Structure 1
Amino acid sequence: MIADSVSESLEIAVRLPWWCETITAGMDEEGLRAAMRAADDQAREDFAPELDAPASGVDPRFPVTGLGARFADAGASDERRLAVLDPGLAPGTADRLTRDPDAAVRAGAARHPRLPVGRLLALLDDQELGGHAAANPALPETVMCGLLA
């Protein structure tokens, strides 16, 4: 086994992450939570920085307010994709866009926080859009817990 340190050797051998070194039996709950947050932040930065990028992939300085009203009924799917970036998208429009011919538009609408809860819950059983609906921040907490159980 080749490693740069005993810690790295342990991590390789038994799959213990580096942050386990700072955890002690006498640590209180808040200290443990802080260690976990620090480890999570570091892991995200090291291995998946794209997780903290804007979900839309759009520069946060790009003005998105009003795009729903302007592009929801556009003929081109690329333009309709802009509509689901609008934080003020009308709930009925979000609902309608979950049935759009374009898969990216449907996925964006399923993740939109203004999607009516009834439609959101129905999409959880949809083979194509279920994962996107499950990632919707408006999903009721009780439903989230049920999905995790």
Structure 2
Amino acid sequence: MPTIRIVAAVIRDAEGRWLLVRKRGTSVFMQPGGKLEPGEAAADALVRELAEELGLRVGADQLGHVGRFSAPAANEAGCTVDADVFTAPLGGPVEPLAEIEEIRWIEPTRPGDLRLAPLLRDHLLPRAQTPRTAAADLV
């Protein structure tokens, strides 16, 4: 199964809601982020992706590494994602840019009936339910 190397961000607002994005032509919501360029460090890739997709300006030194996870790719059948996930600050307004069609804020303990990417559904949201994990800073 082909593996796609990506980065993703958990971004919270003042109420503790998480920012999700849906790419144009898809129906699945996921964390903002994307694929690494050849030779690009994970944190640098996320800084670039957040600026391109949301107009959000953050520095690599503002990111908190949550972990590295593997999950079925949400939008590329038969592929797996290998994802470095970081927390990132919400340093200003965000808007859907580039390939992002829609953004949503969700309550991580009650995401509703949205179609969610496996990385989010199977790895990140369960950590929001269990604050004593290594990813306790997600909630």
Query: Normalised by the size of structure 2, how large is the TM-score?
Result: 0.29
Q: Which has the higher helix share?
A: 1
Q: Larger Cα Rg: Structure 1 or Structure 2?
A: 1
Q: Which has the higher strand share?
A: 2
Query: Normalised by the size of structure 1, how large is the TM-score?
Result: 0.28
User: Which gives a bigger RCO, structure 1 or 2 (Cα 8 Å, sep 6+)?
Assistant: 2
